[in-house]
Structure 1
Amino acid sequence: MAIYFTSGTTGSPKMAQHSQSSLRIGYTLCGRYWLDLKSSDIIWNMSDTGWIKAAIGSVFSSWLQGACVFVHRMAQFDTDTFLDTFTTYPITTLCSAPTVYRMLVQKDLKRYKFKKLRHCLTGGEPLNPEVLEQWKAQTGLELYEGYGQTEVGIICANQKGQEIKPGSMGKGVLPYDVQIVDENGNILPPGKEGEIALRLKSTRPFCFFSEYVDNPEKTAATVRGDFYVTGDRGVMDNDGYFWFVGRADDVIISSGFVHLPLLESNRLPGGISYLGDVVIKGFFSSSRYRIGPFEVESALIEHPAVVESAVVSSPDPIRGEVVKAFVVLSAPFKSSNPEKLTLELQDHVKKSTAPYKYPRKVEFVPELPKTITGKIKRNVLRDHEWGRT
């Protein structure tokens, strides 16, 4: 038996207890099919040792395939040290959080010749399509994203031999039956947003955690009907690829208002009557929109001014809550006029996604709060916005 701590992106870390079969069999599948490791490989997994991804990439999955694990005692991540290491040592496989790749693509990577690098992986957070495309353009290498949790290991992945759809987490992996379900545990059809879930019945997969230690209520809350629910929302397309929307707690529910100008009759466009013969100076219709932060963040990072961003809900007296973006700027834009740049970024998101998804509030920050494993702590930013800190 082993206990792993969750990363704590939505609250205090929880202790997830795993069994012997979960460790050995689950990690064997991961090492063979996602990490694509052979006994001749050298893998550098940049995950902190407190995270299950370290156990996957740095210990069990690697050693079970007979691969060599590379270790570097960097006090903190430095892009120059990182790139010098890859030009010096014959590392074949790199596994790191998207944060590292977002920083690396800011460099001129074509100046560096990696000795043996052949396979690059990422996980822990969604990978922005723009980063994937920049990495491939500069290095010639694909980025294979994997999605998983401390509780259950790798759930979805882009694996060697599969087409990579930029922005997708890939397809469900063995031994899991991955589905999108609604609030009642019913399977949703392709294209419908719901919660990412794993089938538990009739046979419970052997890679599952046993329980949250000393927390039976939270353990029970992970089950909905025949499924284990991850707490993450997503969509599956017709080809079986999964697309991350956001943590259920991170999804922003905002009202959109459409204003129709002054009408000189009692007819709306299309011949629809309203309020008899009364003339109203302006007319509003409203809708409730579900906005996933990852889509907005991916749109923002397409702009050359943005190194990375975090999108959360922010209180609004009219709409209830609106989209707010915390943005880390690239060096050439740090002295830009903030009001002008805000309008430029808002317009960019409107054109890249949809008009109602743009961030109505933008704050430029030197860095984003992160866990020790490199995940953005959106809950810290959200709590600050809502006065809960």
Structure 2
Amino acid sequence: MNLARYCLTSATPDPGKTALELVGAGGALLETWSYGSLTRAVLSVAAGLRATDLSPGDRILLRIGHSSDFPLAFFGAIAGGFVPIPTSSQLTASEAEAILADSGARMVLHDGHTVLPNAGSATLLGPEALVELKQAKPGDFAETHADDPAFLVYTSGTSGTPKGVLHAQRAASARRPMYSGWYGIGASDRLLHAGAFNWTYTLGAGLIDPWANGATSVVYDGPRDPDLWPDLMTDTRATLFAAVPSLYRRILKYGAVTPASFPDLRHGLTAGEALPASLYREWRERTGRELYEALGMSEISTYLSSSPSVPVKPGSPGKPQEGRKVSILSELHDTPVPVSGTETGLLAVHRDEPGLMLGYWNRAEETAAAFRGDWFLTGDRARTDEDGYFWYEGRADDLMNAFGYRVAPEEVERVLAADPQVQEVAVTAVPAREGVCLITAFVVPALPGQLDADRLAAHAAENLAEYKRPKVYKVLEQLPRTPSGKVRRSVLREGH
């Protein structure tokens, strides 16, 4: 089993059918890739990479922005038997360097527009090399197996250090329950995704699943003002649209939206953040379209959702997709004891789930700690109701959700604490309004009452991706702590 081959050939699409459209401002068509041309280009990249000094299974760090080069490099690496590492174009040099060092990547493939790490002993290939890779003579898909590594993504760890999540070749086919359990997708669909390629949400919902169903993926590369999206959905004839709840909220606030808008759209898809019931109702009322939510994570993709076959209960992400083994375990026992009735507990997925990661990269102890017996703990708390719907009740740890990205407060705190004007700092996500939380830094200045917040924000901008940076800075005389000295983030959130 090879993930790239599964995505590009499992639906046996007509080679001449459009697989990928890249559109710009005003819906202008910039690039069109048929399934035949896309497959050839992917196999060219695969062959070109095989001609280097890489060995099968070697990691390749991708520093490529939002262009067609990203999917060609990502799927080309997998097709060649290598392990790509997608990264956000927003990462700073130090953040990218940390991932490079941790992953042991042998190569850095970049487009000339992203910030680069110090490559060290890794081979650095830029835009010219990308052109040469795409022009290589196409080869064959690597004969990998279901449990062989396919790709490595980095996510925030509870320790504040990003950790690699290693996925197997089977990860794509394991997403089948989502086809009817969330999307309701078919070969005639045109799916427009609003996210960046490096994000697992976009990789899956924007590329892997449309192609595995012979559908067309529509990718937008242009200004991202919220009022542009209604016309963009219309101009691209999108039948499905995927985004985070915060973008749907901004579309409703700034865009001209009526039931006559985007006439080809059947329904919207949302994940990455909890969907407030009020936002769902407003979208439903103003557009006349359904909005189906899914709950998932980098380690497994989505496993709970509503869909055309699972009616929405506003405020709930839905039910387990068909075939998924999901449970809620007691928070009071070390052994996996399912809770009863509507009791809140720890949301868990069975280790037999084929979409579950192979493990955390080079973190055997942390991988083992994520399980209770045969159950993988997602880190989320939830309950069920009498109809089998799940209700999200927040995180069991301190990880923050910043517009769909999970961010560890410790990582942000470590950067801010390096500024000499900071004596102590604690970071947490503080509710701003319903469904919106802002990363907030609570700072104890080194000199009482003196803090240059602009200087501190500039320091954060040099060392943190934009989505990790605090949006609010507040000065405190001291941080609230437990008797054992641990910062009480809940007090900061509640007393902001």
Normalised TM-score (structure 1): 0.64
Question: Aligned residue for 2:205?
Answer: 57
- 1:166 CA drift (Å): 0.5
Question: Aligned residue for 1:217?
Answer: 365
Return the alpha-carbon distance in structure 1 between the equivalents of residues 469 and 266 of structure 2: 31
Tell me, yes or no, if structure 1 residue 198 matches structure 2 residue 346: no
1:159-198 correspondence to structure 2 within 5 Å: 159-183=307-331, 184=333, 185-198=336-349
Return the alpha-carbon distance in structure 2 between the equivalents of residues 158 and 151 of structure 1: 20
**CA separation of 1:216/1:206 partners in 2, compared to 1, >3 Å: closer, same or farther?**
same
Picking from 30, 35, 56, the partner of 2:178 is 30
- 1:174 CA drift (Å): 3.2
Tell me, yes or no, if structure 1 residue 150 matches structure 2 residue 150: no
Question: Aligned residue for 2:247?
Answer: 100
Name stretches of at least 5 consecutive residues in structure 2 with no aligned partner.
1-148, 400-427, 444-460, 481-486, 488-496
Return the alpha-carbon distance in structure 2 between the equivalents of residues 155 and 9 of structure 1: 21
Picking from 123, 130, 141, the partner of 2:278 is 130
Report if aligned partners of 1:17, 1:210 keep a CA contact under 8 Å in 2: yes
Report if aligned partners of 1:31, 1:61 keep a CA contact under 8 Å in 2: yes
Cα RMSD for the two superposed structures? 3.5
Report if aligned partners of 1:18, 1:209 keep a CA contact under 8 Å in 2: yes
**CA separation of 1:372/1:145 partners in 2, compared to 1, >3 Å: closer, same or farther?**
farther
**CA separation of 1:308/1:207 partners in 2, compared to 1, >3 Å: closer, same or farther?**
closer
1:1-389 correspondence to structure 2 within 5 Å: 1-8=149-156, 11-23=160-172, 25-75=173-223, 77-107=224-254, 108-110=256-258, 113-183=261-331, 184=333, 185-200=336-351, 204-250=352-398, 300-301=433-434, 308-310=436-438, 386=479
Deviations 1:49-95 (A, max 9, x none): 111111211211110111000011025x2112212212322110001
Return the alpha-carbon distance in structure 2 between the equivalents of residues 381 and 39 of structure 1: 48
- 1:99 CA drift (Å): 1.2
Q: Secondary structure at the match of 1:109?
A: coil
Return the alpha-carbon distance in structure 2 between the equivalents of residues 191 and 168 of structure 1: 13
Deviations 1:30-55 (A, max 9, x none): 23431211111100112221111112
**CA separation of 1:224/1:17 partners in 2, compared to 1, >3 Å: closer, same or farther?**
same
- 1:310 CA drift (Å): 4.3
- 1:5 CA drift (Å): 2.0
Name stretches of at least 5 consecutive residues in structure 1 with no aligned partner.
252-292, 302-306, 316-368
**CA separation of 1:21/1:173 partners in 2, compared to 1, >3 Å: closer, same or farther?**
same
- 1:112 CA drift (Å): 5.8
Return the alpha-carbon distance in structure 2 between the equivalents of residues 43 and 102 of structure 1: 20
Report if aligned partners of 2:230, 2:261 keep a CA contact under 8 Å in 1: no
Report if aligned partners of 2:441, 2:472 keep a CA contact under 8 Å in 1: no
**CA separation of 1:4/1:48 partners in 2, compared to 1, >3 Å: closer, same or farther?**
farther
Report if aligned partners of 1:5, 1:13 keep a CA contact under 8 Å in 2: no
Question: Aligned residue for 1:338?
Answer: none
Return the alpha-carbon distance in structure 1 between the equivalents of residues 261 and 298 of structure 2: 35
Report if aligned partners of 1:250, 1:313 keep a CA contact under 8 Å in 2: no
Return the alpha-carbon distance in structure 2 between the equivalents of residues 313 and 190 of structure 1: 38
Return the alpha-carbon distance in structure 2 between the equivalents of residues 372 and 27 of structure 1: 29
Return the alpha-carbon distance in structure 2 between the equivalents of residues 99 and 162 of structure 1: 23
Q: Secondary structure at the match of 1:105?
A: helix
Return the alpha-carbon distance in structure 2 between the equivalents of residues 181 and 244 of structure 1: 14
Report if aligned partners of 1:34, 1:158 keep a CA contact under 8 Å in 2: yes
Amino acid at match of 1:308: V
Q: Secondary structure at the match of 1:82?
A: helix
Deviations 1:170-222 (A, max 9, x none): 0011332111111322100121111101123xxx2222111111111211111
Report if aligned partners of 2:192, 2:240 keep a CA contact under 8 Å in 1: yes
Q: Secondary structure at the match of 1:95?
A: strand
Report if aligned partners of 2:181, 2:306 keep a CA contact under 8 Å in 1: no
- 1:230 CA drift (Å): 0.4
- 1:380 CA drift (Å): 9.6
Q: Secondary structure at the match of 2:211?
A: helix
Normalised TM-score (structure 2): 0.51
